[in-house]
Structure 1
Amino acid sequence: MFILKRQDVEISSIQHPKRDQQVPILTYQGQTFRLISLFKASQEEEARALWRELTDNRGKACVLLEEPDRFSVWGKVRLDQIGSDTGGHSKQGIYIQASILLLQAVYLDIEEFLGGRQATLFEKDMAEFLRQQQFPQTSSLEAVKHLVSINPLEIVNIPPWQENHVISFLQTLHQLGKSYFGNANFANQVNDRLQDMPEAERSLFISWLNQTSLSKLWQ
């Protein structure tokens, strides 16, 4: 939607009505946007890729903010919507559960074929990504270790990720998996990787996956 500079916008923060946290808000020409992802200055390509995915492929109203030391992606929101972004419910919850199952599948493959040391490094790489992107409730090494060990189909408190988090998470999971294995064979046959999910939920996730650019990565 927009590619803007810092001088073009106003950035402030408001208190989240249901959590003890401040929510960054960007204002541009009377429209409000909330922070989706932060990127380092060296990650311009990744920032633009997420922005294009959300705007071109998902039809979202988003801002790509260019600053000297970083890039950030912001999604349009009404201020009265902020209290309702609970996540972890209905379709979104299913997408998150499937993403965690794919994380576990990649982790177990690395552990089995490359050894425990590489599996530990993979956990650290995922944790660094989640930390940089400020993923809600999952931006630490301990959180990643928790994710690879739980049964996501049984947990009550699913991480409160939004759709953009899921897309970014699966993009990075594919990128890391490819760097560890040297190929993308691990991303084939997603349906088989998700056999633990109920058929209807698995089909819902795969249908969503096929409607995004992720379909080129996960097959």
Structure 2
Amino acid sequence: MTIPLEEYPRPSLTIDLAVFTVVDAGNAPQLCLLVQDRTDPTGRALPGGFVHDRETVAQTVSRVLATKVGIDGELPSPPRLLRVFDDPDRDDRSWVVSVAHSLSLPEASLRGARGDLVPVRPDGRLEHEMGLLFDHDQIVEAALAALRERYDFRYRFRDTFPDPDRFLPPPYTTRQLRRLHEAVVGARLHKDNFARRMSPHLSAVQRNGQPVMSEGMRGRPAALYRPKTNRSKT
């Protein structure tokens, strides 16, 4: 006898979003994560929501961004599928499986967003947070590791692009770019090694055949650069 599908136990399906930005990216960059207050249960958590009937996961991501975060319309960079978090005990209320995503946005895209931009410490912990609800700390850990992998050139040989997640609008100096990478990876980077690794992927901004220099910044004016073609879009 064939058992009807509705007779099988099944979990509820939800999506959770680790939304990163870099505050003051061009001057004193600080990597931050969007965290929200919530009730039922009460605590701090990532933005998220249950997948509705006949709704795709991608549609749920867009709906959560619009209704719970306050971001609607086209995004500078698309959400990245992180992985499935399916510990049966991850939510005390019910059996809930989360399809977690990460999303990187420039600071300007998060103006007016609901929630708090919480600084991410170099060790990966969130400043002034005592622990997020459910398994959201594990989601943050996985999302941060993936983000840092895209920016950190140390101990690896494959290319690292100038600003894979587009936190820093071009043009920028190599110092601005290096400080952005340092804010993301949570460590100091060797200046000369960084410049050498970035050089093949940058084009100097020119005007009338002359390099355009930075203005209104501390120290001596420095050359401004843009990423070459579309290779930084990963």
TM-score (norm 1): 0.24
Higher share of residues assigned helix? 1
Specify which structure has the bigger relative contact order, considering alpha-carbon pairs within 8 angstroms and separated by 6 or more residues.
Answer: 2
TM-score (norm 2): 0.23
Larger Rg: 2
